[in-house]
């Protein structure tokens, strides 16, 4: 027991190597995400008529986003180039930044791929994937007893 308490109090070489190295780094910094591929959050809902996929993609324009259907794969992607220029006094700082994302969904055979539609509004891409007629939920019916 005494050995465990002692080792818990003394930093190991591993701890020293990483200690404070990244502690003060701003992990929410815009530049960290601005130069890498991101994975947008999605919500997927199913009702009797269709599947609905909501993709959180704030800060994009409709023209930045591409939706492709290839066999049973639905792919949502974007490659966005940002040029930022700041002038402070006599110095001008210009940075290039690229934002991209890619999400792929395997669709069931029960969907009507020809009728897929999408709307981008307020940073949310809403994709509606209708079901084929035979896959739609039929209303309950009463069966008469003979």
* Burial class of residue 41 (count of CB atoms within 10 Å of its CB; 0-12, 13-18, 19+): exposed
Weakest mean pLDDT among 3-7, 98-102, 128-132: 3-7
Distant-in-sequence, close-in-space partners of 93: CB < 8 Å, separation ≥ 6 = 85, 86, 87
- Tell me what the pLDDT averaged over the chain comes to: 78
Dist CA 108 CA 113 (whole Å): 10
Residue-wise pLDDT for 123-140, tens only, equals 999 999 999 988 788 888
Beta bridge partners of residue 81, listed in sequence order: 98
Residue-wise pLDDT for 66-87, tens only, equals 999 999 999 999 988 776 777 7
CATH class name, domain 28-134: mainly beta
Judged against a pLDDT cut of 70, whether residue 22 lies above it is answered with: no
Regarding pTM above 0.75, the answer is no
């Amino acid at each position: 027991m005494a050995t465990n308490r002692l080792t818990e109090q003394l930093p190991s070489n591993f701890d020293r190597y990483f200690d404070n190295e990244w502690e003060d780094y701003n992990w929410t910094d815009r530049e960290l995400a601005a130069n890498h591929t991101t994975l947008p959050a999605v919500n997927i809902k199913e009702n009797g008529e269709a599947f609905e996929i909501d993709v959180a993609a704030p800060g994009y324009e409709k023209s930045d986003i591409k939706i492709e259907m290839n066999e049973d794969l639905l792919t949502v992607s974007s490659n966005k180039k940002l040029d930022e220029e700041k002038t402070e006094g006599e110095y001008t700082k210009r940075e290039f930044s690229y934002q991209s994302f890619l999400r792929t969904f395997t669709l069931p055979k029960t969907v009507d791929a020809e009728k897929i539609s999408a709307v981008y509004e307020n940073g949310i891409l809403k994709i509606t994937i209708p079901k084929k007629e035979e896959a739609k939920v039929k209303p309950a019916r009463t069966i008469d007893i003979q």
